[in-house]
Amino acid sequence: MHFSPSRTVKEHALGKARSAAKKISKGIVVGCDTIVYFRKKIIGKPRSLKDAFRILGALQGRRHSVYTGIAVLRVAASRIVREAVFYEKTAVTLKKMSRGDIAGYFRKVHPLDKAGAYAIQSRRCPIVEKVQGSLFNAAGLPIERLKSFLK
CATH number of the domain where residue 121 is located: 3.90.950.10
Q: What is the pLDDT of residue 136?
A: 85
- Show which residues are catalytic: 33
Q: Is the pLDDT reported for residue 135 higher than 90? A: no
- The count of structural domains within the chain is 1
Q: CA-to-CA distance for 62 and 138, rounded, in angstroms?
A: 15
Range of the domain at 108: 5-150
Q: pLDDT category, 2, cuts 50, 70, 90?
A: low
pLDDT in tens, 85-123: 999 999 999 999 999 999 999 998 889 988 899 888 766
94: Cα separation from own chain's centroid: 16
Q: What percent of the chain has pLDDT over 90?
A: 72
- Cα–Cα separations (whole angstroms), residue 96 to 7, 85, 102, 129, 149: 30, 35, 10, 9, 36
Q: What is the pLDDT of residue 125?
A: 61
Q: What is the pTM of this model?
A: 0.89
